[in-house]
């Protein structure tokens, strides 16, 4: 298990690198719909990380969490590009459905196999997972609505992609709150780790549920900044939103699945 601080620094570095590359590339095949379409692959990645942590891949050579994540990224991009190529042959530009569909297939099988192998799975623990999925968007809508009043330009540019990113950041917080406060595993997702470090410096120790407000604020501020970047080049704004949501949702998924299924 890598230290949370190292994970946080790595996530920020990967995010900055991705946005930098996106700014360097002239045009990106990325749209508003691409951002939520990354969701199923992100859940699959979270599931694979959990499988690796509980020892499913023990004894399989060269399989580590970084190699698994890079392989998954390559496979997802490969499938997406192949299907996009076929869609363009038929002059059908909306290719995000293929990214979402292939990710859904992978996520269902990976998470399904985790449920099959899980030792501590009970209906109550499964209900906590369902609750996190429902609660996160409900909490995220309010702050995003306020952002639309305060900084309309950001919301007008990123639209549903921005809301999705805020939801992913809030999900990170909900997953961590369930893991630490309810299930008592002490695991925290990446954004929560960063917030805990930040509030720790001012000697405040709020509970996981109290930190949810900070998550919503972080999500909204990040989306506002990415919306500002989107004024310069919209593709970069979308790429940043996608990276933010992948990091937050992936980390939250891994924490929630580990805590709820394996204790």
Cα separation values, 6 from 1, 10, 15, 195, 263, Å: 10, 6, 14, 14, 23
Q: Please state, in angstroms and rounded to a whole number, the distance separating the CA atoms of residues 142 and 140.
A: 6
- ∠62-66-71 over CA atoms, to 5°? 75
Of 181-220, binders to another protein (CB under 8 A) are: none
10 vs 56 by CB, closer to another protein: 56
H-type helices in 25-122, by residue range?
A: 34-37, 39-53, 65-89, 96-117
Task: Give min distance, CB of 158 to another protein, in A.
Answer: 25
Task: Give min distance, CB of 214 to another protein, in A.
Answer: 34
Q: Please state, in angstroms and rounded to a whole number, the distance separating the CA atoms of residues 14 and 66.
A: 13
Which residue do the tokens 């394996």 mark?
Answer: 262
180 vs 258 by CB, closer to another protein: 258
H-type helices in 118-185, by residue range?
A: 123-150, 152-177
Which range touches another protein (CB under 8 A), out of 4-12, 19-27, 48-56, 128-136? Answer: 48-56
- ∠70-261-246 over CA atoms, to 5°? 35
Q: What 8-state DSSP symbol labels residue 94? A: -
Select the residue interacting with another protein from 8, 28, 29, 117 (CB under 8 A).
117
8 vs 63 by CB, closer to another protein: 63
Which range touches another protein (CB under 8 A), out of 107-115, 121-129, 189-197, 225-233? Answer: 107-115
Residue 201, H or E segment? helix 190-201
Q: Does 50 bind another protein (CB under 8 A)?
A: no
Task: Give min distance, CB of 45 to another protein, in A.
Answer: 10
Q: Does 104 bind another protein (CB under 8 A)?
A: yes
Select the residue interacting with another protein from 19, 30, 49, 107 (CB under 8 A).
107
Q: Does 151 bind another protein (CB under 8 A)?
A: no
Q: Are 105 and 81 in contact (CB under 8 A)?
A: no
Q: Does 253 bind another protein (CB under 8 A)?
A: no
String of contacts with another protein for each residue 76-95, x by CB under 8 A: ---x---x--xx--x-x---
Query: Which positions touch another protein (CB under 8 A)?
Result: 40, 44, 48, 51, 56-57, 59-60, 68, 72, 75, 79, 83, 86-87, 90, 92, 97-99, 101-110, 112-114, 116-117
């Amino acid at each position: 298990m890598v230290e949370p601080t190292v994970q946080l620094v790595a996530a920020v570095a990967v995010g900055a690198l991705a946005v930098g590359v996106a700014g360097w590339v002239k045009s990106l095949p990325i749209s508003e719909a691409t951002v939520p379409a990354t969701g199923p692959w992100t859940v699959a990645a979270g599931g694979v990380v959990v499988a690796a942590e509980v020892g499913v891949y023990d004894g399989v050579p060269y399989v580590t969490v970084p190699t698994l994540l890079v392989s998954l990224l390559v496979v997802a991009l490969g499938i997406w590009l192949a299907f996009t190529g076929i869609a363009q042959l038929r002059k059908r530009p909306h290719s995000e459905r293929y990214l979402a569909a292939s990710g859904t297939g992978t996520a269902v099988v990976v998470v399904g196999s985790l449920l099959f192998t899980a030792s501590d799975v009970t209906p109550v623990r499964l209900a906590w997972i369902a609750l996190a999925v429902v609660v996160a968007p409900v909490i995220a809508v309010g702050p995003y609505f306020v952002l639309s009043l305060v900084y309309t330009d950001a919301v007008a540019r990123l639209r549903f992609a921005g809301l999705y990113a805020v939801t992913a950041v809030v999900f990170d917080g909900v997953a961590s709150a369930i893991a630490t406060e309810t299930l008592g595993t002490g695991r925290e997702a990446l954004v929560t780790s960063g917030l805990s470090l930040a509030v720790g410096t001012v000697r405040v120790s709020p509970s996981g549920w109290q930190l949810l407000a900070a998550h919503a604020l972080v999500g909204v501020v990040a989306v506002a900044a990415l919306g500002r970047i989107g004024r310069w080049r919209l593709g970069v704004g979308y790429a940043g939103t996608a990276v933010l949501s992948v990091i937050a949702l992936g980390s939250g998924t891994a924490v929630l699945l580990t805590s709820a299924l394996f204790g």
